[in-house]
Amino acid sequence: MSPLVPTIAPAVQFDAAIIRKLSNSGPRYTSYPTADRYTPDFGHGSYLEAQAALRMRGGGRGPLSLYVHIPFCDTVCYYCGCNKIVTRDHGKAAVYLDYLKQEIGMQGRLFSGMNEAAQLHFGGGTPTYLSDRQLQDLMAHLRANFAFAPDGEGEYSIEIDPRTVSPERVHALRMLGFNRISLGVQDFDPEVQKAVNRIQPEEETLAVMAAAREAGFRSVSIDLIYGLPRQTMESMERTLAKVIAADPDRIALYNYAHLPHLFKPQRRIAEEDLPPANVKLDMLALCIDRLTAAGYAYIGMDHFAKPGDDLAVAQRQGRLHRNFQGYSTHAEADLVAVGVSAISAVGNTYSQNEKTLEGYYERLEQGRLPVARGIKLGTDDLLRRYIIQMLMCNFELSIPAIEQAYPIRFRDHFALELAQLEELAREGLIVIDDGWLSVTPRGRLLIRNICMVFDRYLRQPPAAGSATAQPLRYSKTI
């Protein structure tokens, strides 16, 4: 566990008036181009070409990141928008693991002798839906197919539902090689938990956190959500006090996006129980105030970390990166993702697996990787991705560095964007001079709005065959 250490944390300024004025719908930029722009023209063959090109370029020198998607949950949480399968039939997981191991073997052969895995993340769903024996077998299979960096050099994390683990099981996860753990908490208030169908006694969560520290996990992270049904300022104040007392190393604070037309479980939430928009903003202000006062550094978007945590250190050193799991310490690592719906980032491509078990199994039975769609990035995509990464992670951009890396004159190439940025500058969100584009503390909460200026796809209709056949639907930027 990383202790709090004296440092100057990146400042963030909450301005309700400017948030109300500018907050609209937009991407979260876990990738650029965003996943709704991937098309089925990119399939199994395209992925093999990207991987072969990576090998030819000597793509074995940098670290490799692995993501494993376990889609199953025992029960449904009404707020959830993840790609999941709710079932109490654990036999389905056994079948899934057989196919998952087949995909891992195929990917392992492709990357044999290349990159060493320095990052592993198990997400879902609920990865701890699997039994200890199933997890042990899966980890052994991963290690048989990929070379892993030593424990002290790698970041190996797993998302857990505290309701599915005991303190003894937490120790077993550490013995399997996981050294970071992320707990879904969302809210400690019993009435809020009832409203979202996630009854999770505070004592269970605290016992799991204590066990993680006893077991030697390097980092303990918790997830919170504001804007849930029956949340009030008073209940949020109590939850924050308990969170701060629990002393996690990282905190992910998410805005609940109520999109019942997209996510069926959310239809079980009574809209009259949701806090009004102005109260949600007050909740966000309260969270920022309490967490920063407690010594947490604002990393960006919805992430906070202790100043001594690897995430905060990486940001101060300019090594912070953003991918499909959020903020990461491993910049520019190729990401190999396995499992239903998982998204890989290999070379200058993104690719997403089939979203249904039937489609996923069928592709693997054909002896093919289960890639359903993807995209190959052009030079302009790479340029804009770099800019968005710099702004999302560091809140600043060196214009001369861009012009040295790419054959452009920044002010000519981005003339349209600069005109829009001037409006944001007048609002006090950014500062632009000859050398730098810098996001002010006032603008950091609206970083998605700023990055959207550089997203040329937002000015275009979806491509034929892309995932979005209707007008794009994104969550609110705040």
- Which residues make up each annotated binding site? 67, 73, 77, 79-81, 124-126, 159, 186, 198, 223, 257, 343
Peptide bond into 276 cis (omega under 30): no
Find, among 114, 56, 95, 38, the residue nearest to 336 by Cα: 114
DSSP states of 287-330: HHHHHHHTT-EEEETTEEE-TTSHHHHHHHTT--EEETTEEES-
The annotated binding site for [4Fe-4S] cluster is made up of: 73, 77, 80
- Which residues, other chains included, contact 413 with Cβ-Cβ below 8 Å and sequence gap of 6+? none
Dist CA 69 CA 338 (whole Å) = 6
- Rounded Cα gap, residues 230 and 234, in angstroms: 11
Binding positions for S-adenosyl-L-methionine are 67, 79-81, 124-126, 159, 186, 198, 223, 257, 343
CA distance 222 to 291: 13
Residue 218 structure tokens:
């390097």
Q: What single-letter DSSP state applies at residue 223?
A: E
Residue with tokens 């200058």: 348
Q: Do 311 and 302 meet the contact criterion of CB atoms below 8 Å apart?
A: no
Please give the Cα distance from 413 to 104 (Å, whole number): 42
